[in-house]
Chain A
């Protein structure tokens, strides 16, 4: 058995705080650089480095962290450029005063786009990328055909800069440094925060994240707003740097292409990755500016990108982390002081009360007349059922009977065409899925859907942070360790899910569900694909979960397990409840037999 090393990857609440002092010292040293009167070129060069650090880092806050690959960064940057250009020239506003407005304008644009686009599930992946690119062109057209630009460009030579240092070049350098530092600080803060974890989970599997309690819509809005706002501020500064602003150069494909290139090269899921990429690409750009080397330099940048994609798919930062993890000896972790008993529901009031002799108490979750249709095809046709506190309720039915649809409706992933899902009298049917999770409803997936790029520990800590418990990151980690200990995966806490076998991934699903201390957990074919011995251990585990007070809705095909575990049984067929009652009785009912075996031919 491998010793656990749960510190191998950055986890929420575990910021390397000792490095903050060093970072501040570097920032102060860089800010003081102009006092040494270096050649203006160095300030100019570093200005461009910091500009691209800010742009690439801000891009990764949305696209690297949440996985929404955007080609719209040119739009956010361009809005910042033109906000400052317009306000400093037409409105004669002081330059510094325009920068917050440049950031705000871009942020509003980003949030506006997100408010529309993030509601549409199909607008993910390449469609999102194309849409954001299209917005860039739309904005360019607007700027070009209105007094914002109108065609001739905007000349900012008359704009006076605040004298933060002796020369304008030094002042611009300092401003770019500050916006880059702000972007890095925000990216760093996000990466180690619960929001960052949520964004990473969204990137891996947005629907699962939502079902585990992550308010995906609002978090994505935060990400795009922050990303766009930073790009807007950078754009505002850059308007004065170039002094002559034109639509064709501002809203060109250069900005989105470069930030993608830099982020991919540096590593999109590390706060410092895009900065590394920005430094490398900008340095390469300058390394080959000699007239004889121009083409070779461009070719070298292209070649570098190809090599990075081929051999360092996680970018410089990801590869550095992997190497560090490989070189660091896995410290033997002392045994966790965790009792291998099933977690109890989250609050005392949720504890099973009034449990009868059959192990069941009063109904607390009710589905009433649930109808669900997909383009006219009825998946659920008036399903009503109740789940009683403390019971294991079996839900069976042939393939296509509507079991998984019902689970999706109860967990909020699907909103029913009609009907109610009542938990403590509150209808969850039309609320977003994360509200169901926060109300104490958890589920597993028939085919495990772990967050592929989060460790096993992070996979389990995430629902503890966002589900019913809403724990702080450090507490969530402890809670996750408890859940992993319960399912026997604590020693795999630092591994990625891809390193687990099917059996272990099923148990990881179970640990994620238990991490929120659910009031009811929906186990969707948790036994499928397991060996008989594994099934026996799983049955024992499910029983101990119920014994600890958690109500279970057990969806399963394995009738041996169903009969062994469930207190009551409901049978679905063609979207309708055709039988319910004690399991031994239900399986003998003719309509159940007919549903499973079909009508014998005469």
Chain B
């Protein structure tokens, strides 16, 4: 008898818990009603770009949850129609066709990476849709008037980023006399490296080395040997993903530590956690520290990201630039919808081109050439296994400074 009572008690407790949970959930979504606002987009959830695609997916899920806990979009719940483009630009194109013509989503968000974004942009243009995107690496390729680049690197990042970088070195009294450039021929990387080379030339910095390697190179031994031979004051590494780590390993085998290495688009976790990458430099728009995280929204975002990323098996848990630009894209979309009280693509695009939007990565504008605004890129550095913003100084956390040789 006692056993039956205990079992009944447990069942009742479970029932109460379930009902309570349902009520809480219902309360959470009670703020929104009506047909959902459907936001469509693709991400590289499989294929070679999937590690970064996963970051964007986690952030999107966080944002949609947060939006629905508030008021959704225009009081309607937000539904994210996310498709996997498998890291293929041609698939991205047809999936955006699907989102627009079959799924009939209300709004679009861009995919990850330049090739996919350009494919999606062509579809958006054919259908007159607004396309907010966040990782287009070559701004001059964006020709469509209703494309909105949240990745705020300015219209000519190949000039402005190297300028920021060399300014940072100069401000710290370490203007290099010689610079060695090694760069992948990955399109968005190579384009930036060429710009950096020209900037260095204009500033009178001697070029000790210019070396190109193919995307997909695994053996960095010969490249490392040339870098050691050049022994420049500053090393520009036009790399993407794990190339930077592989180069550092090759340099270590030669027992050579480059002076002041800068890595363009590294995999943030592996490079920050590499014992050979102390004081390595890179570019950023957001890092998980003050002053970026000074607002409650940013703090909450960083906390949630850390929590979700850990569950997803990501090893570097700090919310960094990729996570932040993904969030900023959603912020931009919501800001336009809220301000215009509309889902009309033309109105949204017009409003965005005329107004500024507050996001995690700064106050964005889209009224310049190619709808680009300011270059908000900053310089970050690996310090104690974390990325710390070190330039401009007002974005560095208290007490942090740039360590240079």
B115 touches A244 (CB 8 A): yes
- Given A152-B190, A290-B83, A244 and B141 touching (CB < 8 A)? yes
Interface string of A141-160 (1 = CB under 8 A from B): 10011000001110101000
A399 to B42, CA, bound (A): 70
B102 touches A151 (CB 8 A): no
Is B347 at the interface (CB under 8 A from chain A)?
Answer: no
Interface string of B211-222 (1 = CB under 8 A from A): 010111000000
A427 to B89, CA, bound (A): 59
Chain A residues contacting B257 (CB-CB under 8 Å) are: none
A285 touches B141 (CB 8 A): no
Cβ 8 A contact of B187, one of A141, A153, A243, A298: A153
A373 to B91, CA, bound (A): 58
Cβ 8 A contact of A144, one of B88, B95, B185: B185
Interface string of A292-318 (1 = CB under 8 A from B): 011101100000000000000000000
Cβ 8 A contact of A244, one of B57, B102, B118: B118
Interface string of A163-174 (1 = CB under 8 A from B): 000011100000
Is A520 at the interface (CB under 8 A from chain B)?
Answer: no
Is B198 at the interface (CB under 8 A from chain A)?
Answer: no
B89 touches A242 (CB 8 A): yes
A36 to B160, CA, bound (A): 50
Q: How far is the CB of A477 from chain B (nearest CB, A)?
A: 45
A249 touches B83 (CB 8 A): no
Considering only CB atoms and an 8 Å cut-off, how many residues of chain B contact the other chain?
A: 42
Interface SS, A side: helix
Is A353 at the interface (CB under 8 A from chain B)?
Answer: no
B215 touches A290 (CB 8 A): no
> Can you spell out 16 A-B residue pairs with CB atoms less than 8 angstroms apart?
A41-B98, A45-B94, A151-B190, A151-B191, A153-B115, A155-B141, A243-B93, A243-B118, A243-B119, A244-B89, A248-B186, A248-B216, A291-B45, A291-B83, A293-B84, A294-B45
- Given A241-B90, A285-B91, A294-B46, A155 and B118 touching (CB < 8 A)? yes
Q: Which of B80-117 contact A (CB under 8 A)?
A: 82-86, 88-91, 93-95, 97-98, 100-102, 114-115
- Given A144-B185, A151-B187, A155-B118, A45 and B98 touching (CB < 8 A)? yes
Cβ 8 A contact of A298, one of B46, B88, B115, B126: B46
Cβ 8 A contact of A41, one of B85, B88, B101: B101
A152 touches B138 (CB 8 A): yes
Chain B residues contacting A40 (CB-CB under 8 Å) are: 97, 100-101, 123, 126-127
Is B143 at the interface (CB under 8 A from chain A)?
Answer: yes
* A-to-B contact residues, CB < 8 Å: 39-45, 47-48, 140-141, 144-145, 151-153, 155, 157, 167-169, 238, 241-244, 246-249, 254, 285, 288-291, 293-295, 297-298
Is B43 at the interface (CB under 8 A from chain A)?
Answer: yes
Chain B residues contacting A294 (CB-CB under 8 Å) are: 45-46, 84, 86
Chain B residues contacting A42 (CB-CB under 8 Å) are: 101-102
- Given A39-B101, A290-B82, A295-B46, A244 and B94 touching (CB < 8 A)? no
A167 to B118, CA, bound (A): 18
- Given A244-B115, A248-B215, A248-B216, A39 and B83 touching (CB < 8 A)? no
A144 to B93, CA, bound (A): 24
Is B357 at the interface (CB under 8 A from chain A)?
Answer: no
A141 to B215, CA, bound (A): 10
B84 touches A289 (CB 8 A): yes
Chain A residues contacting B46 (CB-CB under 8 Å) are: 294-295, 297-298
A291 touches B43 (CB 8 A): yes
**Residue ID in chain B nearest A43 by CB atoms:** B97
Q: Which 5 A-B pairs have the closest CB atoms?
A: A39-B101, A291-B82, A294-B84, A44-B94, A151-B190
Chain B residues contacting A169 (CB-CB under 8 Å) are: 97, 126
A601 to B122, CA, bound (A): 92
A291 to B61, CA, bound (A): 11
Cβ 8 A contact of A152, one of B94, B98, B127, B187: B187
Chain B residues contacting A47 (CB-CB under 8 Å) are: 94
Q: How far is the CB of B127 from chain A (nearest CB, A)?
A: 8
Q: How far is the CB of A52 from chain B (nearest CB, A)?
A: 10
B122 touches A157 (CB 8 A): yes
Interface string of B8-21 (1 = CB under 8 A from A): 00000000000000
Chain A residues contacting B91 (CB-CB under 8 Å) are: 48, 285, 289
A416 to B86, CA, bound (A): 56
A242 to B306, CA, bound (A): 36
Chain A residues contacting B115 (CB-CB under 8 Å) are: 153, 242, 244, 246, 249
**Residue ID in chain B nearest A38 by CB atoms:** B101
A40 to B216, CA, bound (A): 35
Chain A residues contacting B45 (CB-CB under 8 Å) are: 291, 294-295
**Residue ID in chain A nearest B101 by CB atoms:** A39
A188 to B187, CA, bound (A): 41
A41 touches B126 (CB 8 A): no
Chain B residues contacting A289 (CB-CB under 8 Å) are: 42, 83-86, 91, 95
- Given A291-B83, A298-B46, A168 and B126 touching (CB < 8 A)? yes
B190 touches A244 (CB 8 A): no
A167 to B127, CA, bound (A): 11
Cβ 8 A contact of A242, one of B85, B86, B90: B90
A157 to B118, CA, bound (A): 9
Q: How far is the CB of B73 from chain A (nearest CB, A)?
A: 19
Q: How far is the CB of B321 from chain A (nearest CB, A)?
A: 22
- Given A45-B94, A152-B187, A157 and B143 touching (CB < 8 A)? yes
A285 touches B215 (CB 8 A): no
A145 to B57, CA, bound (A): 36
A41 to B43, CA, bound (A): 18
A22 to B357, CA, bound (A): 59
Of listed A39, A40, A141, A238, residue having the most chain B CB within 10 A: A40
A243 to B190, CA, bound (A): 19
A399 to B57, CA, bound (A): 73
**Residue ID in chain A nearest B42 by CB atoms:** A289
Cβ 8 A contact of A167, one of B102, B126, B138, B215: B126
Q: How far is the CB of A139 from chain B (nearest CB, A)?
A: 12
Q: Which of B162-207 contact A (CB under 8 A)?
A: 185-187, 190-191
Of listed B95, B102, B185, residue having the most chain A CB within 10 A: B185
A238 touches B90 (CB 8 A): yes
A151 touches B122 (CB 8 A): no
A39 to B82, CA, bound (A): 19
A145 to B97, CA, bound (A): 34
Chain A residues contacting B127 (CB-CB under 8 Å) are: 40
**Residue ID in chain B nearest A292 by CB atoms:** B82
Chain B residues contacting A168 (CB-CB under 8 Å) are: 126
Interface string of B37-79 (1 = CB under 8 A from A): 0000011011000000000010000000000000000000000
A291 to B141, CA, bound (A): 28
Cβ 8 A contact of B97, one of A44, A141, A244, A298: A44
A234 to B324, CA, bound (A): 39
A152 touches B126 (CB 8 A): no
A599 to B43, CA, bound (A): 84
Known interface pairs A41-B101, A144-B214, A298-B86; 5 further A-B residue pairs with C-beta atoms within 8 A, sorted by A's residue number:
A41-B100, A151-B190, A243-B93, A244-B114, A285-B86
Interface string of B138-154 (1 = CB under 8 A from A): 10010100000000000
Q: How far is the CB of B94 from chain A (nearest CB, A)?
A: 4
A295 to B91, CA, bound (A): 16
Q: How far is the CB of A75 from chain B (nearest CB, A)?
A: 16
A43 to B186, CA, bound (A): 31
Chain A residues contacting B43 (CB-CB under 8 Å) are: 291
Q: How far is the CB of A291 from chain B (nearest CB, A)?
A: 4
- Given A291-B43, A298-B46, A48 and B126 touching (CB < 8 A)? no
Chain B residues contacting A288 (CB-CB under 8 Å) are: 84
Chain B residues contacting A152 (CB-CB under 8 Å) are: 138, 187, 190-191
Chain A residues contacting B89 (CB-CB under 8 Å) are: 242, 244, 249
